[in-house]
Amino acid sequence: MGSRLPLAYARKTGANFLTAGALAAARARTSITEPHQSFDHQRLWADLLWSPTMCFNLFGELAADLVLADRAVHKWWPDAPGTVCEVRFAHSPGWLDRAYLGNLIAFDAAFVLDLGDGTQGIVGVDTKYHEAAKRHLAKPARLARYRDVARRSGVFAPRAIDAVDGTDLLVMWLEHLLAQSMLQHSSGRWRWARYIVTYPSGNSDVAGACIRYADLLGDQSTFSTLTIEALLEAKALPKSTTAALRERYIPG
């Protein structure tokens, strides 16, 4: 296809990753298995265009340097409270756990925030690259739970819930709901959350979907978008990393 490395070579060399930090983060994540996780290891290592790999390339260096991670998060989202205390990848607080959503939805990256009072916040990031918008249907057995989390969140405009099922907005809704379910968890562990979609400005499918999704929200404080170009222009990452990301992912 022209966008895949030979798997054995990719695993041995880590050639799909742009920096030592990104490669270290990928190796650390693939060395553990969260219960019931769903994770495509082959595409991570070998698919040059796969968005979760791009996520490691974007944020991998931050996982090993929490001071840099905290500075970056507050450049990108200045109103985020607290201090970054952990950076996670391909993360769900509970795969298939009905105390959350009971499904396999996860964040590509998650910045965990220490709020200073024993509670935490989270910035859950979904990275998109070349993906086109696709329609999806929610599994009927889980729809009641999704509706309950959405209703309790209070962030959706009237009739918004019925507007996403069977559309290209469903996955975005479920990822947003995952963040909402963390705020509603009985442990009281999470006190602040935001769901972010980041994508290249040239991906008109994702850009349009984000605009349509935002129109369904009565309260947009827990949802925002950030183009990859804007993320890089903020100068929150090392110069060499920014240059490598531009060369790989930003044509022209």
Query: pTM for this structure?
Result: 0.95
Look at residue 133 in the predicted model and tell me its pLDDT.
79
Which stretches of the chain score pLDDT less than 50? none
Look at residue 36 in the predicted model and tell me its pLDDT.
87
The vertex-131 CA angle with 126 and 133, nearest 5°, equals 90
CB contact at 8 A, 245 and 58:
yes
Write down the domain spans for the chain. 7-249
Look at residue 34 in the predicted model and tell me its pLDDT.
85
5's CB contacts (< 8 A; 6+ apart) are 15, 16, 45, 46, 48
The dihedral built from the CA positions of residue 112, 63, 18 and 104, taken in this order, carries a sign that is negative
Nearest to 136 by CA among 94, 97, 172: 172
CB contact at 8 A, 193 and 183:
yes
Look at residue 159 in the predicted model and tell me its pLDDT.
80
Look at residue 1 in the predicted model and tell me its pLDDT.
64
Look at residue 85 in the predicted model and tell me its pLDDT.
98
Q: What is the pLDDT of residues 220-235, one digit of tens each?
A: 999 999 999 999 999 9
- Secondary structure (H, E, C), the chain: CCCECCHHHHHHHCCCCCCHHHHHHHHHHHCCCCCCCCCCHHHHHHECCCHHHHHHHHHHHHHCCHHHHHHHHHHHCCCCCCEEEEEEEEECCCCCCCCCCCCCCCEEEEEEEECCCCCEEEEEEEECCCCCCCCCCCCHHHHHHHHHHHHHHCCECCCCHHHCCCCCCHHHHHHHHHHHHHHCCCCCCEEEEEEEEEECCCCHHHHHHHHHHHCCECCCCCEEEEEHHHHHHCCCCCHHHHHHHHHHHCCC
